[in-house]
Structures are given as structure tokens and as C-alpha cells.
Amino acid sequence: MKNVYSGNPGEIEHKNSWKSKSEGNGSQEIIEIRINEYIKSKLVFTDWDGESFTEFILKPEGDKTNVTWTMESTEFPFISRGFIFLMGGNKMIEKDYEEGLANLKKVVEAKPKVESIAFEIVEVPEIIYVGLRMKINAAKVDSALFANSYGKIANAIGNKTEVTGMPFSIAHIFDEKTGDMDLEMALPVKNEIKLSGELNCNKIGAGKCAKYEYKGAYVGTEKIWPPYYNEVLKKYKPRFSGYEVYANDPASVKSPEEYITWLMIPIE
């Protein structure tokens, strides 16, 4: 069997077309999607007349998901119906459905669990900040780096202006494959100040931001960022680099599980 795939996986118009001397020719194409709820595809066997449609219907049940898989044919030759009845076709199809759903269950449950991406859109005023920017690999980013960086920033600010909020970090560039990143540690301040050396005073313009609140150890945000960013991109266009706000003081909680981090993406 020769398969040809077109379109983007997981999106409308994603299509698989096949040719086979023994199994016939045909195609299956995604024609409707409701994220986390529903997928519908059109199934065509070119040796038959008519089309068939399949659906995957997802319904939450507590911390699990109930999956219903359907198939409906708009036209089925009369003689074929008799063949299916005589040869126990319903049982044959039922077996395929059970095996397919069992395989789907294995694939889904083998994937690492991540929190649901339930973000909100908020209005954020202009942020003036003092930042320390560096090119570094994610493997070298640790608590000591954060502590040293924020120490340098705080010393540079001194009495020149007032720190107005919690520390944050900006990932201007991040390569998921290599881990290389253009990272900026920052403290928000009341007024612009003049600085020299490796520190700079910059701004993030006022406007809308996508905001996701993550609770847990700081290292956990690394797995949340890719699906969260992709979810935001489905509806919005970023206007500035994404950044993390460390919203509570680690010294004020009992364990890293209580750390709160806001994942912010400024959008147009």
C-alpha cells in the first residue's frame, strides 16, 4: 500500500490518500475539529460509490475522557449489505473498533501528563524594567544563576528608583531541540534609570497578555510552555517575547509545590 499525506497533522484538510492492489484505493480527510471535543473525517473508497464519515467524540468523565468512535455511510450498495449480514460483518467491524480504541488508549496514556492549558486574557500596564540579558543553554539555568543575576540587578538599581513588583525572566529566543536560549533576568521598576555595563533599562508596552498560572517547582514550566504557546497562537499574534513572573516568594511557602509562576505572552 502506498500512502501520501498532505496538509498539517491535527488540522482541517489533513489527508491520507492510498493506493493498493489488494485493499483498493481511497482517502481519509479531516473536515471538522472542535479542540478537545470532536473530530470528523470523510472516508472515500474510490471503488465504491458514496462517502463515509467517521467521528471521534470526546466527553470528560472526572479525570478521564470517554471516547466514542462512529462511522456513517451515505450510500452502501445493496448487494454489499447482504454480504456483510451473511458473513457476520457487524462482528468483524466491532472487533476492529475495539482494537482501534484499545490502541488509542495505550498511545494516549503513555504520553506524559501536563496540566490543562486554561489561560486568560488580561490587560497589563507598561512595564519598565532593569534587565540582565545572556545567551545560555537551558541545562545551565539553575537557582544559583537566578540568585546571582537578581543580586546584580538589585545592586545596580540601589536607590535610583523603586522596585515595583516580583522578579521575572524573558525568553527572547528558545530552541526546543538544542536548549539554547536568549534569556533576560529582570526586575520591574517605577522609573527609567541610566545604567552601564551588562545591565539595561527596557520596557514592555501596555496591552493585552495571555496569562497562565502554573503552580509547582520552577523547572516544571519548561514542559508547559510549548503546548501553552501553541494554544495561544491559534487565536492571537504575539507582540513581545513570552516571560515568567515569579508571583510569590519561595521563602513564604512550605515547598516548591506551592510556588506560583505566571506565564505571560503579550499579544496584539
Provide mean pLDDT across the span 209-234.
90
Q: What's the number of CA atoms in the CB half-sphere (13 Å) around residue 113?
A: 4
CA dist list (Å): 196 to 145, 200, 265? 21, 7, 28
Q: Which of 168, 160, 161, 169 is nearest to 247 (CA)?
A: 168
pLDDT averaged over every residue in the chain: 88
User: pLDDT > 70: what percent of the chain?
Assistant: 90
pLDDT in tens, 56-97: 999 988 778 899 999 887 655 554 555 555 555 566 678 888
Which cell numbers hold the place of 162? 523603586
pLDDT at 106: 92
Which cell numbers hold the place of 119? 489561560
Q: For residue 49, what pLDDT band results from cuts at 50, 70 and 90? A: low
Please name the amino acid found at residue 221: T
Say if residues 15 and 28 touch (Cβ distance below 8 Å): yes
Phi and psi angles of residue 252, each rounded to the nearest 5 degrees, phi first: -95, -5
Check whether 241 has a pLDDT greater than 80: yes
pTM: 0.59
Q: Per mean pLDDT, which range of 10-24, 32-46, 111-125 is the poorest? A: 111-125
pLDDT at 79: 47
Does the CA dihedral 85-90-91-96 come out positive or negative? positive
User: pLDDT > 90: what percent of the chain?
Assistant: 59
pLDDT in tens, 94-135: 888 899 999 999 998 887 666 567 899 999 999 999 999 999
Give the CA angle between residues 103, 107, 112 to the nearest 5°.
160
* Helices 89-110, 78-86: crossing angle, 10 deg rounding: 80
243-261 as b/e: b if 16+ CB within 10 A: bbbbbeeeeeeeeeeebbb
Which cell numbers hold the place of 236? 492571537
pLDDT at 54: 93
d(CA 182, CA 78): 65
Q: Which residues contact 144 (CB under 8 A, 6 or more apart)?
A: none
pLDDT in tens, 153-203: 999 999 999 999 999 999 999 887 888 999 999 999 999 999 988 999 999
CATH 3.10.20.30 for domain 120-266, yes or no, is no
Q: What's the number of CA atoms in the CB half-sphere (13 Å) around residue 206?
A: 3
d(CA 132, CA 127): 15
Phi and psi angles of residue 115, each rounded to the nearest 5 degrees, phi first: -65, 150
d(CA 58, CA 105): 13
